[in-house]
Structures are given as C-alpha cells and as structure tokens.
A = this chain, B = another copy of it.
Amino acid sequence: MTDFLRVAGAQIDLSVGDLDGNGDRIVEVIGWADEIGADVVLFPELAVTGYPPEDLLLREAFLTASIETLHRIAASTGDATAVVGFVDRGYASARDDAGPPRLHNAAALLQGGRLRGVYHKCLLPNYGVFDEDRYFVAGRSPGALWEINGVVVGVSICEDIWVADGPHAAQAQGGADILLNINGSPFHRGKGGERAAMLAERARATGLPIVYLNMIGSQDELVFDGQSMAFDAAGALLYRGPQFAEDLFWLDVPLSESGRAGVEATVVSTGDLLEGEPEPLPSSHPPLDDLAEVYAALTHGIEGYVRKNGFNGVVIGLSGGIDSALTAAVAADALGTDRVWGVAMPSRHSSEGSITDARALADSLGIRFDVVSIEPPYTGYLETLEPLFAGREPGIAHENLQARIRGAILMALSNEFGGMLLTTGNKSEMSVGYATLYGDMAGGFSVLKDVYKTLVWDLARWRNRDGEVIPQASIDKPPSAELRDDQLDTDSLPPYAELDPILERYIEGDESVRSIVADGLDGDLVARIARMVDANEYKRRQAAPGVRITTKGLGRDRRLPITNHFRG
C-alpha cells in the first residue's frame, strides 16, 4: 500500500479586478474539493485579483478589498487545504518613499475556515510581458514547508520553478514529500512542451512528484492555455489537463516512502490521508498540434476579450483577402455566427473577387453580410480637398483616405449597433507598417496581430481541413491592399516567405542586420526591412491590442522607443 495525496486543481478562468466574482468561484470550487475528499486544492497565481492586475496594485482600495476577499474565501474552507494566489502586503523598506507600495505575489494556505500560512514568490520575472519588480518584492523564505495531513508540501509560484536552483530545491532538501506550483503562465506557441520538459526535469532532480496548476482565459493581449500537469517522482507524466478549457481535476499522487523525520514544517491541517488504494488516474488530454493550438489561442483570446468587456458581437471589414477571412472565421468559431457581422466596402480599385470572395466567406460561415460602397464619401473628400490638392497626382494620401473611409464606416456601424470592430492586420504588415493608421488599423482588438502572414495561410488551410470554409480564392490570390489599380504587396515588399523569417529574426530574435545577412541574405533588403520596422514604431504604438502567441508580440513585451536613431 502506497501513501498518496489527493490533489485537486482548479484550472479556471478568472477576471482581473472582479474580486467578488473570483471569490465566489473560488469558494464554489473549494466546496467541490471538500466533496471529492481532496487533501489539497490548487488555484492559479493571483487568483483573487485576476492576473495580471498591473497598476491596480498601486491602489490601496484595491489591495484592501482583495485581502477582504481572501478572508471571505478562507472562512469557506473545510477539510481540504486551498492554495490560493493573492497579493500580500509586505513590510516597508528604506526605499518605499521613492516608489510604490511593496507587495508580495503570494499563495495563501487556507483550511478549516482559517488562514494557515502564506508563501511569498521568490523569483519575480521582470522581462518580456512581466513587470513584477514594479509591484512586488521577492520572498525571503524559499524553503518554507507545510504539513498537510502528515504530508510535507513545498509550495511555489510560477517563475520559482523555472530556475534550476529555485525554491523547489530548498524545499526538497528540507524534506518535502511533494511540490505544488501555481501559475499564471501566458501562452506562446509550443510553450506546453517547454513546460513539460522542465517539470519532468525538476521532478527527477528533486525525486519528488510535482503538481503544476495553470489558469486559462485571456486578459487583454495575454492568453492562458491551462494544460496543468502532474509528474511522479521519476518525472513520468501522471496527468495533463486540456488546453484553453476549464478543468476541475483531481488525482491521487503517490508519495515515496523516504523518511520525514526531523522535518520542520508549518502545520496546516492535521487530518488523516485517505486509506486504501489510490483511484485510477484521470485521462490525460493530448496536447494540441501546432496549428490547432495557435487557432485555439486566437479563438480563446477574442472570446475572452469580447465577453469580459461586455460587447454583444463584432464587426469585421471583409476585403476578400485572407487576413479578414481568417479573422472572421476565428471570430465566428469563438463567438458564434450570429455575433459576427461582415461588411465589404468596395472602391473603384477593388477587384471583382473582393466582393464575391467576401460574400462566399460570409455565406460559408453563415454570418451577416453587407456591402457599403466607399465611393460617396471618397468623392466628398476629393471635392472638399480639391482646392488644396489641385494639380497633384493621387498618391499615398489618396490610398490612406480609402482605408480611413472604411475604418470610419466600420466604426459608425460599431457605434450605432454596438459590436466591437476587429482589425484584420497580421504581424508581417504591422511590423513593416504596411497598414493605415485610423484606417485598416481602426478597431478595438486584433486577432492576427502576432500572426505572421505565412502562418495566416497555414491557419486558413488548417481551418479548411474538413472542407472549404475560407474561399480557396482568398488563399490563392496574391496579397493586395487594393488601394490603387493593380497594386500588389510585392510591389514594395519581398514575398512573405522571404520577409517573415527576416522579421522573426529581427523582432523575436533581436538580431542585427549584419547577423541576419550573414546567412547569405541580401544586405540592402534586410537593412531596408529593419528600417521599416523601426520607422513604424509610431503606428504600432497606436494599434489595437491583439492576441499574443509568440515569445515577443508587438505589445507591451516589445518596448522600443519611437524616437530612435540606431540603425543596425
């Protein structure tokens, strides 16, 4: 007979700032954990406040209310020990006069109606999308241990477990029987595999089982994919949760027999472990394939943004091209076809396919579709600008005007009928500035902001795997903005198959022009592209937020100056 600890996990979707709603949900799940006889139930990092709360943490009233919520949650606990992420106040330091309040990213151990212990996150990420040093001070007790029904538990939070000699090492050395790690770990493409490899290594290195709990949901640009995991002491996978879906799971984690004599641990609960044989493990969910995963991240991102911000649906300008087609497909899959409105806005420069392909898409998706000509306002603009523009050839101003008319029409529909306008630009275009501010960049949220054009095509073909939803013509046609006759993206850009790898190295890789050119690429071309990326920072600064799916999106995780004279 093996001892085991029944660990439950709440892979759930909470909302930033919704203290009451988050509290209610946590209390409800704690009730469930008691019912199924869990010894421990895990909640995500900063579950009480939602994650990441950003500068809400600078408001005293927010901190006070969140601590009150934690105490309400504590009062609801029974036999099961709940491990709940929250924000704890820290002690004042000599530097407090110079900055904001200093807090801890913390995990509360709650049981029997009381707060039994608090762990403070020791390793605070302050890179990429993370700004934890802005709010938190590091915990000073990495090796803290907790005794739950006679089992010695080490608790840690997210980043803590990513570093080989992090708190888990001290906890293992101190005599832990099991490691519990709670997370608010944002998704990027392929991150699940990185997490699984790291966790298996931690289990093997410490010789301890690990339960890793992650949240799902979306918050502005971030999506969280769940995929909670458990590993045994040998690093073998015991359980893997689904991606982008809530999951209340529990499993009986086998404990090794290694001695616990002399272990110093704070007693959290003094109940007995369950007796008899452990229940069979729940079925694991296989990780999604690459394209399925990215597609799911996009639907998850837009669904959460629309729901949490209270929109009744979305409006999308359909050009007949691939970007708007994929955006509409993602939106329809995320929100339902009755909440997506497609609008085609032809001009004198539009190809015939622009309407027919847009209509075919709307028909195959089953969404509302309207056609609104941009000619009447365009004529109006030309008329009113005539005294100033007289004698000048049509140029970029005329192209942008058309894009801006489309933006204004879509925003008028959004203002009048309430749907949020989705922008349709992809990461390739946003990177080089091949987009019109206040035109096609107008909108509240961007589905493809972090998706390079070549991946857009891959995703469209993937979406069509069971039959043509996105018109094949939209996939096959050469990309064009159709803002003047016979215009093609390749008039001013290299083919996307060449462009995208350069962009990825320059943006995600922070490589220099010289380093990229070293692989045999055309030096002038790479330098020109790098210059386009830099020179268009001002546009991106006014861009809508969008779902982040890479290690470096074009939002808060990439903080380049607009005014920037560096060329390299």
Interface residues of A (CB under 8 A from B): 15-19, 21, 50, 52-56, 58-62, 65, 94-95, 97-100, 123, 125-128, 131, 133-134, 159, 162-165, 219-220, 304-305, 308-309, 370, 372-381, 383-385, 387-389, 392, 395-397, 400-401, 404-405, 407-409, 411-413, 415-416, 437-438, 442, 444, 510-515, 538, 541-545, 556, 558-568
Name the B residues within 8 Å of A60 (CB-CB). 510, 512, 515
Name the B residues within 8 Å of A400 (CB-CB). 411-412, 415
- Tell me if B538 and A444 are in contact (CB < 8 A): yes
Question: Which of B59, B304, B560 is within 8 Å of A55, CB to CB?
Answer: B560
Question: Which of B378, B385, B513 is within 8 Å of A380, CB to CB?
Answer: B378
Q: How far is the CA of A442 from the CA of B438 in the complex (A)?
A: 7
- How many copies of the shown chain assemble into the complex? 2
Name the B residues within 8 Å of A380 (CB-CB). 375-381
Write the nearest CB–CB distance from A386 to chain B, whole angstroms.
Answer: 9
Q: How far is the CA of A395 from the CA of B415 in the complex (A)?
A: 9
Say whether, besides A61-B568, A377-B384, A408 and B408 are in contact (CB < 8 Å). yes
Name the B residues within 8 Å of A392 (CB-CB). 416
Q: How far is the CA of A145 from the CA of B560 in the complex (A)?
A: 35
Which residue from chain B places its CB closest to the CB of A217 in the assembled complex? B563
- Tell me if A408 and B384 are in contact (CB < 8 A): no
User: Which of the listed residues A125, A405, A416, A511 has the most CB atoms from chain B within 10 Å of its own CB?
Assistant: A416
Question: Which of B99, B163, B401, B567 is within 8 Å of A412, CB to CB?
Answer: B401
Say whether, besides A55-B558, A126-B134, A408 and B416 are in contact (CB < 8 Å). no
16 pairs, A vs B, C-beta closer than 8 Å: A16-B564, A17-B566, A56-B566, A62-B568, A65-B566, A65-B568, A94-B164, A372-B387, A375-B380, A377-B380, A379-B380, A388-B416, A405-B408, A408-B408, A437-B442, A542-B543
Name the B residues within 8 Å of A415 (CB-CB). 395-397, 400
Name the B residues within 8 Å of A304 (CB-CB). 563
Write the nearest CB–CB distance from A86 to chain B, whole angstroms.
Answer: 15
- Tell me if B383 and A370 are in contact (CB < 8 A): no
Question: Which of B381, B407, B558, B561 is within 8 Å of A409, CB to CB?
Answer: B381
- Tell me if B565 and A545 are in contact (CB < 8 A): no
Name the B residues within 8 Å of A560 (CB-CB). 54-56
Write the nearest CB–CB distance from A471 to chain B, whole angstroms.
Answer: 24
Name the B residues within 8 Å of A219 (CB-CB). 561, 563
Say whether, besides A408-B401, A563-B309, A416 and B395 are in contact (CB < 8 Å). yes
Question: Which of B16, B412, B512, B541 is within 8 Å of A385, CB to CB?
Answer: B412
- Tell me if A54 and B561 are in contact (CB < 8 A): yes
Name the B residues within 8 Å of A164 (CB-CB). 94
Q: How far is the CA of A18 from the CA of B566 in the complex (A)?
A: 6
- Tell me if B385 and A372 are in contact (CB < 8 A): yes
Which residue from chain B places its CB closest to the CB of A20 in the assembled complex? B565
- Tell me if B407 and A438 are in contact (CB < 8 A): yes
Q: How far is the CA of A389 from the CA of B416 in the complex (A)?
A: 8
Name the B residues within 8 Å of A405 (CB-CB). 377, 381, 408
- Tell me if B123 and A99 are in contact (CB < 8 A): no
Name the B residues within 8 Å of A55 (CB-CB). 510, 558-560
Name the B residues within 8 Å of A515 (CB-CB). 60-61
- Tell me if B17 and A308 are in contact (CB < 8 A): no
Write the nearest CB–CB distance from A229 to chain B, whole angstroms.
Answer: 19
Question: Which of B19, B94, B125, B378 is within 8 Å of A163, CB to CB?
Answer: B94
Name the B residues within 8 Å of A98 (CB-CB). 123, 125, 127, 159, 162-163
Name the B residues within 8 Å of A543 (CB-CB). 542
Name the B residues within 8 Å of A401 (CB-CB). 408, 412
- Tell me if B384 and A409 are in contact (CB < 8 A): yes
Q: How far is the CA of A162 from the CA of B405 in the complex (A)?
A: 51
Q: How far is the CA of A54 from the CA of B130 in the complex (A)?
A: 15
- Tell me if B411 and A437 are in contact (CB < 8 A): yes
Question: Which of B381, B511, B564 is within 8 Å of A377, CB to CB?
Answer: B381
Q: How far is the CA of A513 from the CA of B61 in the complex (A)?
A: 9
- Tell me if A384 and B372 are in contact (CB < 8 A): yes
Q: How far is the CA of A19 from the CA of B98 in the complex (A)?
A: 31
Which residue from chain B places its CB closest to the CB of A128 in the assembled complex? B99
Question: Which of B375, B387, B511, B561 is within 8 Å of A220, CB to CB?
Answer: B561
Say whether, besides A53-B561, A384-B375, A568 and B59 are in contact (CB < 8 Å). yes
